[in-house]
Structures are given as C-alpha cells and as structure tokens.
Amino acid sequence: MTQEEMWRAVSENDESYDGIFFYAVNSTGIYCRPSCKSKTPKRENVRFFNTADEARNAGFRPCKRCRSDLLDYHPMKEIAEKAKQLLDECFKERSVLRQGFTQLGVSQRRMAEIFKDEYGMTLHEYMKSRRLEEAMRLLTETDEDIVDIAYSVGFGGLSSFYSFFKSETGMPPSAYRKEHRK
Ligand SMILES: [Zn+2]
C-alpha cells in the first residue's frame, strides 16, 4: 500500500482500511484508525504504522474517540485465510457467512480486494467452486434427491441450481449423475 493510498483513506475516513494500518499525529501524540472522525490532521504531521503495537512503541497513545487500542491487528493474509476458511465451512448458509464476514472487521468491498489479491479469484468465484464440488460429490456418491442436493449446497430451489450446474459443467445434474455415479 502506498502512502498516498493511506493518506486518501485517512482523509476520507475510509473504514474499509480499519485494521489494515494506523496513523498517528505528531502534534497530538495520538494514533487512530483510518475511519476516525476526528478532524483530519495536516498531512505533514501524520505518520503511518502497520500495527497498533508499532504506533505505541513509537510513543503514541490510542485515540479515545475511535478506540484504536481495541482493534486487533489482522494482516491481510490472515484475513484472506479466515475468509477462505469461513467459505469452506459455511458456503451453504448465507446468513452465517455474512455474520462471519462482519466479525472479521473489514468491509465487504475491502475483503473482496484482499481475497482476490491472495487467491486470484473473487469470493463469489470461490464460493461457486465450493458449491459445485459439493454438488458433484453428492450426485456421484449419494442417492439424495437432486432437489435436496440443491438446497444442501445453498440454492433456494431447483431451477437456480439446475442452471448453475449446467452452465458450470455443460450438463444437467441428472445427466451428470448418470454418467459419474459410482
Ligand atoms: Zn481516533
């Protein structure tokens, strides 16, 4: 991340950068998260830190307004890994997934960028591949009804599952099952 990008995040109070870096203000001795609503400091007084620890070690105190001391440090890689793990475990349940992402503490937009940087695909693409894998497994290894499989991999009904499956594999689920059933 460039200093320009960090400065832009600070001047726009962009909360999607919270936890990614901190800024400290020489004139006040305080460090903040990017989204802090305090008056935007002068650029020449600002220093950037990757972690709250680094800011503290440099002698800055946490801000009482944005509570920069309460934010854990989440390196981007760690965030991406947690997101992936969450998708692996909860790709069938959108509400659980959404909640899990909220708990990771970065905005969805920022999360999407971090994930793409780390894995070269979007969250959505990754989720699709997980659902497809699971659907293929259930079709070939079980006798579950196709409609039940549709629900269990996270689709709201048969027709959305059907068109998803066909566009990904080139054949409808029933044909896939016939061809690959073990
Ligand atoms: Zn602050």
Residues of the chain within CATH 1.10.10.60 domain(s) are 131-180
Instruction: Give the pLDDT score at 71.
Output: 67
pTM of the complete model beyond 0.85: no
Give me the pLDDT at residue 72, please.
58
| CA–CA gap between residue 122 and residue 51 (Å, rounded) | 26
- Residue 61 alpha carbon to ligand 1 centre in Å: 10
pLDDT at 74: 59
Distance from the Cα of residue 161 to its chain's centroid: 24
Contact residues for 42 (Cβ-Cβ < 8 A; gap 6+): 27
Q: Which is higher by pLDDT, 56 or 101?
A: 56
List the one residue out of 83, 66, 81, 56 whose CA is nearest residue 32.
Answer: 66
Confidence of residue 101 (pLDDT cuts 50, 70, 90): confident
pLDDT value at 147 more than 90? yes
How far is residue 103's CA from residue 55's CA, in Å, rounded to a whole number? Answer: 24
Answer yes or no: is pLDDT of 144 > 70: yes
Q: What is the pLDDT of residue 79?
A: 83
Report CA(90)–ligand 1 centroid distance (Å): 34
Stretch 125-147: mean pLDDT: 95
C-alpha of residue 43 to centroid of ligand 1, in Å: 15
Q: Where in the chain is the domain with CATH 3.40.10.10?
A: 3-62
The model's confidence at residue 168, banded by pLDDT at 50, 70 and 90, is: very high
pLDDT for the residue 118: 86
Residues acting as catalytic residues? 32
**Tokens standing for residue 180:** 């690959």
In this model, does residue 73 exceed pLDDT 70? Answer: no
Q: Residues with Cβ < 8 Å from 78, sequence gap 6 or more?
A: none
* 80 alpha carbon – ligand 1 mean position (Å): 26
The pLDDT of residue 44 is 95
Q: Tell me which CATH homologous superfamily contains domain 131-180.
A: Homeodomain-like (1.10.10.60)
Total residues found in the chain within this entry: 182
Mean pLDDT computed over 3-11: 95
Instruction: Kindly report the average pLDDT of the chain as a whole number.
Output: 90
* pLDDT surpassing 80 at residue 140: yes
What's the CATH architecture for 3-62? 3-Layer(aba) Sandwich (3.40)
